[in-house]
Amino acid sequence: MRWGILILFVVACGHAQPPTTKTGTHVPSNLQRGYATWYGTSPGQEGGPTASGERFHRSAMTAAHRTLPMGTMVKVTEIHSGRSVVVRINDRGPFGNKSRIIDLSEAAARKLGIIDAGVAPVTIEVLSRPK
């Protein structure tokens, strides 16, 4: 009887599993997977304010993210090509589709080679957070 209670207790408590990808491999906590889009072609965006208070410049290596702190540096890697770029978070977004996890400036999207596609699967790795 004691063993049954002990086993039931252990099973009921369980333990936290590390995040996994669809293939079941471990995903570090500083890594996100999803889709990247890019922005900066709408009239009025160039030179307009970002959520951080600085001006938006499509030629800057910046990006928008829903939750990462302003000033966070991230490495964005396009999954199919393996191309990577480092950007600084200075805005909020993307809004709408929850599978889209980052909006890149035009310059960053060009370096990743996703201008024509408009959207691409990526990983985001947090490199540093502001002090």
pLDDT tens profile 31-66: 999 999 998 766 667 767 888 989 888 899 999 999
Spans in the chain with pLDDT lower than 50: 1, 3-27
Phi, psi of 50 (to 5 degrees): -105, 175
Predicted confidence at residue 119, as pLDDT, reads 95
Question: What are the residue boundaries of the structural domains of the chain, listed by start?
Answer: 19-128
Predicted confidence at residue 129, as pLDDT, reads 92
Predicted confidence at residue 122, as pLDDT, reads 97
DSSP code, position 18: P
The CATH T-level fold of domain 19-128 is Barwin-like endoglucanases (2.40.40)
Cα 28 to Cα 75: distance, rounded to the nearest angstrom: 14
CA dihedral 45, 49, 54, 50 (to 10 degrees): -80
Mean pLDDT of the chain: 81
Query: Residue type for 40, please?
Result: G
Q: Which two tokens stand for residue 43?
A: 């009239």
